[in-house]
Amino acid sequence: MSLNKYLDIAPEAAAALAAGKPVVALESTIISHGMPYPQNVETALAVEKIIRDNGAVPATVAIIGGRLKAGLSEQEINYLGKTGAKVPKASRRDLPVLVAKGMDGATTVTTTMMIAAMAGISIFATGGIGGVHRGAEVTMDISADLEELAETPVMVICAGAKSILDLGLTLEYLETKGVTVIGYGTEELPAFYTRKSGFQVDYRLDTPEELARAFHVKQELNLRGGMLVANPIPERFSMDPAVINAAIDEAIREANERGVHGKATTPFLLAKVKDLTEGSSLESNIHLVYNNAELAAKTAAALCKLK
């Protein structure tokens, strides 16, 4: 039972944690804000199945009725999917008010890391992290995900930073914060929809066991913060960089014209890119999440063996 009075750990996840078995955290913003219904629910349930098929227990994270949830029922996942963007997007700054008012919240990378750490979950699979937005030298638009990676002891497995961002500045920021960026089977940071970006990661590791060992040593050294694993999208689902970059440039131009800013920026840009690519980006998004879930489950299993 959790010591945090605001946290509910689902029975399946709680039993696994108590028995020292692998558990993988999943975010809920991808359900409510990342995809249309019913694809969002279908994808969320498929991701949970992939994690189970690879030997771990899934724990989708959200805020439901003011309760921090580490692990959702199928009914709760359906609720988030159907309610969609009406569910507030919850970052660190939103948690106190959402909980105090008994509201719902779809957790970002930041809040999923926080709640996973509260529950004792070390591995988290997502699509892509936030980062330094293009033009941040003027807007100061920098995702809270980067600060959380510097503070919270969770390994985040993703397909790199979303390609709507300034990837070079994102890596510089992570370096400043002391966050290790690992390329899984690659020395180059993947750019979410594509496998390459032209930017180098800190280290290349090639097996789930190597990932688990690196994170285990970090924990034993009592070093603060998490680790970022960039797992490239499978080759067959990778998009043409010219096509996706042209769509991103157009989406950013429109966002600037409309005055879109803050937490509305990423959902707007991703939706616009989906429209401009006639849905190809959504298909890529789904399959990169599946790929990350599989690697996360295998890494969580390897980490449990080390403990």
Which residue do the tokens 């279908």 mark? 42
Sequence ranges of the chain with CATH classification 3.40.1790.10? 1-121, 127-307
Annotated catalytic residues are: 27, 162
β-pair partners for 301? none
Q: How far apart are CA 198 and CA 104, in angstroms?
A: 39
Residue among 304, 242, 307 nearest 277 (CA): 242
| Cis peptide upstream of residue 38 (ω within 30 degrees of 0) | yes
- 158-184 confidence digits (pLDDT tens): 999 877 788 999 999 999 999 999 999
Residues whose CB falls within 8 Å of the CB of residue 245, separated by 6 or more in sequence, listed in order: 163
Does domain 127-307 correspond to CATH entry 3.40.50.720? Answer: no
What are the tens digits of pLDDT across the range 43-53? Answer: 999 999 999 99
pTM across the whole model = 0.91
Per-residue pLDDT tens over the stretch 50-71: 999 999 999 999 999 999 999 9
CATH architecture, domain 1-121: 3-Layer(aba) Sandwich (3.40)
CA dist 156 and 302 (Å) reads 15
Q: Say how many C-beta atoms besides its own lie within 10 A of residue 194's C-beta.
A: 21
CA angle, residues 292, 198, 187, in degrees to nearest 5: 55
Q: CA neighbours within 13 Å on the CB side: how many for 167?
A: 22
